[in-house]
Amino acid sequence: MKKIKNICICIILFLLSVDSVFAQLSGDAKISVLTCGEGFEFFESFGHTALRICDSDLGMDYVFNWGIFDFNTDNFYLKFTQGRLPYMLGITSYEWFVTEYAYDGRSMYEQPLNLTYEEKNRLYEAILENYKPENRYYNYDFFEDNCATRIRDIIQNSLQGRQFPVNAVTDSNLTFRQLFHPYTKNFLWWRFGIDISLGMRADKKVSTYDYMYLPEDLMNQFDTTMLLQDSKTLTSTKQTILKEEYAHSSPTVFSPNMAFWLLFILVIVLTFFELKYGFYAKPFDIVFFCVIFILSFLIFYLCFLSDHHATKDNLNLLWANPLALYVLIRLRKSNAIVLYFLLACLAVLIVGFWLLPQSFNPACIPIWLILILRLTMLLLKKKGLLSCA
């Protein structure tokens, strides 16, 4: 099946490059935005957006998709973490595109664009220019350069004297982080991982124009967008191509919040027995500070060594601190100044949880409390106030 599909796609691309490139769209051509609903996998939970161009006079009905990447890319995971994984514009037939999403039981909606004949051709020419080998690849950015923003921008640039209204940022506007959270309600561990990877830049309120980095928000904005100059709607009545046919997975019962609060309770019990019976649970501290250091390394890497815009200026480094390596190596021999510094960082986080310019996942709080507890124990032992074997 895949082999047949690949052959068909090759034929489509050949016809497109040889025939359609030199032809303008006819007056009956239709260009529309396709919005696909969420899927089973985490990376499918945000949906997808593509452009459809249908022109019966030219015998074409293609879908242009800016969400293509190759798992076989050299150093795939390294490039992904660096923010240098190349995504590309791909083309497939409308029939194949719908069949794929129907097989997965995902919804699909179509919004015909109210463009003039000249605007349709400007958009078509821009797509063909974008599809040239030297132009089709781009470095994906989840918030600012993805399958939805590419379509938003290429439509915007095709308009002649008419523009999207670019709304100013108001107090009611949400942040990038707040916008994607509803889409991760069934993937709470993934949300936790993303939250600690993102820095302050993800917590700035964004304009309604920037909301359109998410496929569903793009669709909703297009439903109500009135173009400037002539006050006409950007899209016609939305049509349902596919209805959702699969059951959504339920959020995991053992959420990060529950897991880390339970761990905090266990650490309290462990510390109590340490104090009562005069022993030191060194294996626990070795594992705990090792995990904290690994997290600090990953956050540091994303913050300073990757091209991801939203992972910069990350205050999670205050608790997932690289100094955890020093504590891990020294443990009870750690310098008191280092321990005081780490405790001060945690105090800033606890006191400023609602005041700092960055949002933190609530599951971080029990981790901070565990850190405070264990660092305090190390400090007391360092000062000889506790005698533990």
CA distance linking residue 169 with residue 164, whole number of Å? 15
| One-letter amino acid of 51 | L
Query: Does residue 221 share a domain with residue 120?
Result: yes
CB 206 within 8 Å of CB 221: no
CA distance linking residue 228 with residue 20, whole number of Å? 32
What's the pTM?
0.86
Dihedral pair phi/psi, residue 174, rounded to 5°: -95, 170
CA 62 to chain centre: 27
Average pLDDT of the residues in 245-254: 71
Pairing, β 86-93 against β 108-112: unpaired
Q: CATH number of the domain that 75 lies in?
A: 3.90.1720
The tokens describing 125, both together, are 């020419």
Number of neighbours of residue 314 by Cβ within 10 angstroms: 22
CA distance linking residue 114 with residue 238, whole number of Å? 12
**Would 247 be classed as within a structural domain?**
no
Query: Does residue 299 share a domain with residue 211?
Result: no
pLDDT in tens, 14-49: 455 444 444 689 999 999 999 999 888 887 889 999
Q: Which residues touch 11 (CB under 8 Å, ≥6 apart)?
A: none
* Strand arrangement of the beta sheet that strand 30-36 belongs to: 137-139, 86-93, 60-68, 48-55, 30-36, 108-112, 239-242
pLDDT in tens, 316-374: 999 999 999 999 999 878 899 999 999 999 999 999 999 999 999 999 999 999 999 99
The domain of 345 spans: 256-382
Q: How confident is the model at residue 384 (pLDDT cuts 50, 70, 90)?
A: low
Query: Does residue 269 share a domain with residue 137?
Result: no
Number of residues that this document lists for the chain: 389
The phi-psi region of residue 313 (left if phi > 0; otherwise alpha if psi is between -120 and 50; otherwise beta) is left
CB 152 within 8 Å of CB 222: no
Residue 12 reports pLDDT greater than 80 = no
pLDDT attached to residue 338: 95
Q: Give me the helices (H) in 111-214, please.
A: 117-131, 147-158, 176-180, 188-197
CB 120 within 8 Å of CB 57: no
Number of neighbours of residue 15 by Cβ within 10 angstroms: 15
Query: Does residue 33 share a domain with residue 92?
Result: yes
Average pLDDT of the residues in 240-254: 79
| One-letter amino acid of 9 | I
Per-residue DSSP letter, 320: S
Query: Does residue 221 share a domain with residue 123?
Result: yes
Query: Does residue 230 share a domain with residue 129?
Result: yes
Query: Does residue 145 share a domain with residue 44?
Result: yes
pLDDT attached to residue 14: 47
| Mean pLDDT estimate for the chain | 87
Average pLDDT of the residues in 72-93: 78
Residue that is last in its domain, among 242, 268, 286: 242
Average pLDDT of the residues in 238-255: 81
Query: Does residue 284 share a domain with residue 236?
Result: no
Residue from 370, 154, 357 nearest 268 by CA: 370
**Would 193 be classed as within a structural domain?**
no
pLDDT attached to residue 50: 97
Helices then strands (H, E): number in the chain? 13, 7
Query: Does residue 212 share a domain with residue 307?
Result: no
**Would 387 be classed as within a structural domain?**
no
pLDDT: which is higher, 273 or 172: 273
Query: Does residue 136 share a domain with residue 279?
Result: no
Residue 192 reports pLDDT greater than 90 = yes
**Would 285 be classed as within a structural domain?**
yes
Residue that is last in its domain, among 219, 242, 265: 242
The tokens describing 145, both together, are 């350069």
pLDDT attached to residue 387: 57
**Would 225 be classed as within a structural domain?**
yes
**Would 175 be classed as within a structural domain?**
no
CB 177 within 8 Å of CB 203: yes
Instruction: Give the containing element (helix H, strand E) for 337.
Output: helix 336-351
Query: Does residue 278 share a domain with residue 159?
Result: no
**Would 88 be classed as within a structural domain?**
yes
pLDDT attached to residue 201: 93
Query: Does residue 322 share a domain with residue 236?
Result: no
Pairing, β 48-55 against β 30-36: antiparallel
Structural domain count of the chain: 2
Instruction: Give the containing element (helix H, strand E) for 93.
Output: strand 86-93
**Would 173 be classed as within a structural domain?**
no
pLDDT attached to residue 257: 95
Residue from 69, 84, 74, 73 nearest 307 by CA: 84
| One-letter amino acid of 166 | V
